[in-house]
Amino acid sequence: MSDKILQIAIDGPVAAGKGTVARLVAERLGITYIDTGAMYRTAALLAKRAGVDWVDEGGVAGLVDKVGLVLRQPQGEEKDGRLVTVIANGEDVSWKIRTEEASRGSSAVAKLAKVREVLVKKQQIMAKTQSVVMEGRDITFRVLPKAYLKIYLTASPEERAKRRHKELLMRGENVTYETVLEDLKRRDNQDVGRKVDPLQVVKGAWVLDTTGMTIEGVVEKIVQRVRGL
């Protein structure tokens, strides 16, 4: 590994375990974890609060452009199970953006070119001066195209739905596995089929299927790969 700024880019479908894996890999390597999905969820939350429709490209982009957005590792009392602390205009919205509504909203605003343009710039600034593990849906080809390591993290739809369903139940949300699976497949179709930056496997990316693997096993595999490069 080099002493220069290290960029690890992770893409993949919803509920592939990207957030947990990226955070743990960042911890093992002693670098910063950036959850770009949280930024789109925050955009959806801000729009909802402001009465701006999720399909209003200019309206949502304007809100996102002005927001003071900080992503950081949980500190002190923030260590309550969250993967990352998200501060929007001084307010901790870390859990407020983790609802199913925010999830649907993030998929909607992510289709908007102007919104993506604003957030991509913010993400690139975050990765310019510090080593990062950044995960999302367009990191390997749009945000960090020259990343040190590009990973496409995936798993079967059924496996991902099980993980997502368990997570929601633990947070007290009353939802069925069938509903989660249906929503997951819908979001997969949206991510792959959107006109702006569709989810894709780029040339040179390491496709890592985590079906049947433990989180620890996935993290160890990635860390070993990084240290061996």
Q: Is residue 229 part of a domain?
A: no
2 occurs within a structural domain: no
**What are 206-218's pLDDT values in tens digits?**
999 999 999 999 9
Q: Is residue 227 part of a domain?
A: no
Please report, for the domain that includes residue 97, its CATH number: 3.40.50.300
**Count of other CB atoms within 10 angstroms of residue 40:** 26
Q: What is the pLDDT of residue 196?
A: 80
117 domain-assigned: yes
Model pLDDT for residues 73-131, shown as the tens digit of each residue:
898 999 998 888 999 999 999 999 998 899 899 989 999 999 999 999 999 999 998 99
135 in Cβ contact with 35 (< 8 Å): yes
Residue 76 lies in a domain: yes
Tokens of 25: 């890999």
- Other C-beta atoms closer than 10 Å to the C-beta of 75 total 8
Closest CA to 89 of 73, 107, 65, 106: 65
Residue 2's pLDDT is 52
Q: Which two tokens stand for residue 95?
A: 């859990």
Give domain status of residue 58, yes or no: yes
**Residue span of the structural domain in which 144 resides:** 7-222
Question: pTM of the entire structure?
Answer: 0.84
Evaluate whether residue 192 is within a structural domain. yes
Q: Which amino acid, residue 62? A: G
Q: Cα–Cα distance between 59 and 31 in angstroms, integer?
A: 34
Q: Is residue 115 one of the residues assigned to a domain?
A: yes
Beta bridge partners of 70: 87
- Give the SS3 label for residue 199: coil
Average pLDDT of the segment spanning 180-204: 92
Residue 77, φ and ψ in degrees, nearest 5:
-70, -15
The total number of structural domains that make up the chain: 1
Is beta strand 149-154 parallel, antiparallel or unpaired with respect to 206-209? parallel
